Chain A
């Protein structure tokens, strides 16, 4: 996970041997991806972030092409392509040219193309990026099924919910470096000493004033709503400040809630607020 420009795609490209790293090595199933890229890539399926199937070929022809590149015997290729297209609800569109398919269908086709060789490892670079809710949900539930089947899936995303839902382990990247890693639960625990306070005043508040009072805590002001992240031991002080703001400005507090950090908070805490 990481914000745009964090280095997620570059990491994937290096790991599958498309670009060479400045230093270091990557191995897939014991094969060095830069010295033996063909052998290493024969164990993996990849859905690159910025990629398309061949738009002037049909979905079926694209699958047969990729199956051919993996040297899969025709009978096996055909059987597997049929299964995948049915699972991804694309069987009826198999003879349509890719240029006539929606973005969501193209993405599903790319996923089918990555799986045609029944790979041990799947690399997915932003698999649901830019998709509508239904297509994204369909891909996520398909990935969960693959996960249950025991496939190793390495996916990049900047969608926090997606990472929390799909991943056993998460690495958070920024500026080309991994800055935190662990299971989603571990990351939350690591930041467990923090408390998230969300509250709602009856009127809009001056963001500058709020920030002055609540310095040095992390504050997000959105109209009448505030979200404050502070250490649990500072909770009393934060509440005092909130009451002071309310008194000074004659505001009423309509709602207040304190909780542990959710995965989004952890992400923001690690990466820092933009700007």
Chain B
């Protein structure tokens, strides 16, 4: 693809991303599963347990990045199939891959924005991370990772957004209890520990703990590398599976 071609390709992704931002940031499932759910989980974790804001902020940032970034991608394809706008979109000079990348970008940016806002609130309350750049890098990669993970759930060829939300919740909710957010991985039963290491949430949680000076299991570079690899795996499989199931949506 020539540079003009690449520019046009990226521009189309951006146009589709803007469309998804406008249409899906304030949709019911996004607000409930993306914003309220992590907030209430965090409150359930901290209220009455004597945790300070500084101690519990890493958990809030991790939950926010995870839930917000993976809240939009599962619903866009079913929603658009139901609204009968998907075929209208695919009749234009775009591929399904461009459409999905636009959605993933919109979802990631939402996650980055909300997580960054929480980090900023922390800074204002004097909860300062030891390496802000590393933290931001982690937020960007994890948001991409979780938004592509969410895209995997949208591959179910259904035009009912609730189906995708249900599937994504069934996977996402258990992950938060095995990824070292509420319970340290070292305290998990030995038969759950292997699951912790295949959870994409573990590595971001570990990186955030490190960034805020809490105890971490792995080095930040390992966390970043594993998150990047998982992002590539989720992206490749989400795009391939969505392409394969697309026709059953129309």
**Chain A residues close to B by CB (< 8 Å):** 13, 16, 18-19, 37-39, 41-42, 46, 48, 50-57, 61, 65-66, 68-71, 110, 113, 123
Given A18-B87, A48-B87, A110-B88, A56-B23 contact (CB < 8 Å): yes
Given contacts A46-B92, A69-B16, 18 further A-B contacts (CB under 8 A): A16-B91, A19-B247, A39-B93, A41-B91, A41-B92, A48-B88, A51-B84, A51-B85, A51-B88, A57-B23, A65-B19, A68-B11, A68-B12, A68-B15, A69-B15, A69-B92, A71-B8, A110-B88
**Chain B residues close to A by CB (< 8 Å):** 8, 11-12, 15-16, 19, 22-23, 83-85, 87-95, 247, 250
What 6 pairs across the A-B complex have the smallest Cβ distances?
A68-B15, A46-B91, A51-B88, A41-B93, A42-B93, A52-B84
A132 CB to closest chain B CB (Å) equals: 20
Bound-state CA distance A71–B250 (Å) is: 25
Contact status B92-A66, CB under 8 Å: yes
> Which chain B residues lie closer than 8 Å to A41 at the CB level?
91-94
Q: Which residue of A lies closest to B89 (CB)?
A: A69
A131 CB to closest chain B CB (Å) equals: 16
Number of A-B contacts (CB under 8 A): 70
Partner of B94 from A19, A38, A46, A61 at Cβ < 8 Å: A38
B22 CB to closest chain A CB (Å) equals: 7
Q: Which residue of B lies closest to A67 (CB)?
A: B15
B76 CB to closest chain A CB (Å) equals: 12
Bound-state CA distance A52–B95 (Å) is: 19
Bound-state CA distance A70–B11 (Å) is: 10
Q: Which residue of B lies closest to A38 (CB)?
A: B93
A10 CB to closest chain B CB (Å) equals: 11
Given A56-B23, A113-B88, A69-B93 contact (CB < 8 Å): yes
